[in-house]
Amino acid sequence: MLSKNQVKYLHSLRLGKFRELNRVFIAEGIKLVEDLLESHFRIQIIYGTHDWIESHQRVLASGEYVIQEVTEEELKKISSLVTPNEVLVVAGYPAPDIPAPDSMGKIILLLDRIQDPGNLGTIIRTADWFGISHVFCSPDTVDFYNPKVIQATMGSFCRVSIHHTDFKQLLAGLSDSWHIYGTISDGENIYKTELHFPAAIVIGNESRGISDEYLPLMTHRLGIPSWSKGADSLNAAIAAGIICSEFSRRLGS
Tens of pLDDT, residue by residue over 174-229, are 999 999 999 998 899 999 999 999 999 999 998 889 999 999 999 999 999 998 87
Return the pLDDT at 139: 93
Return the pLDDT at 253: 67
Per-residue HEC secondary structure of the chain comes to CCCHHHHHHHHHCCCHHHHHHHCEEEEECHHHHHHHHCCCCCEEEEEECHHHHHHCHHHHCCCCCEEEECCHHHHHHHCCCCCCCCEEEEEECCCCCCCCHHHCCCEEEEECCCCCHHHHHHHHHHHHHCCCCEEEECCCCCCCCCHHHHHHHCCHHHCCEEEECCHHHHHHCCCCCCEEEEEEEEEEECCCCCCCCCEEEEECECCCECCCCCHHHCCEEEECCCCCCCCCCCCHHHHHHHHHHHHHHHHHC
Regions of the chain short of the pLDDT cut 70: 253
- Domains recognised in the chain with CATH numbers: 4-92 (3.30.1330.30), 101-252 (3.40.1280.10)
Return the pLDDT at 231: 77
Q: Indicate the pTM of the whole model.
A: 0.94
